[in-house]
Amino acid sequence: MSSRTPKIFKALESINPLETDEQVSTIVQVCQTFFLKTLDILQTFVSTTLSKKLTGGMVETAKRGRKIPPNKISIEVRDSIR
């Protein structure tokens, strides 16, 4: 047995499921090792998710595939050719 204490993960906000009228957020501290191993995720996933969290508690949407392809011809050019 090691005498070192487990790292405490930064406070996580969670929604209290017992409240039905309004959502109440509470701050809960959990052991980092236990949290990561229970969910089978990496620290980078958690830190990225927490950094992208918006004020309402939701995570911002992914921005993959949102760019216009460089070889796409605009509608105006298509209409001028027709």
Confidence check: pLDDT of 1 > 50: no
Give the pLDDT score at 39.
87
* pLDDT at residue 43, rounded to an integer: 86
Asked whether residue 79 carries a pLDDT value surpassing 80, the answer given is yes
Is the predicted pLDDT of residue 4 greater than 60, yes or no?
no
Q: What pTM value is reported for the model?
A: 0.43
**Can you read off the two tokens belonging to residue 31?**
């052991």
Return the exposure string of 54-76: e unless at least 16 CB atoms fall within 10 Å of the residue's CB, then b.
Answer: eeeeeeeeeeeeeeeeeeeeeee
Residue 41 has pLDDT above 80, yes or no: yes
Structure token pair of residue 73: 């011809």
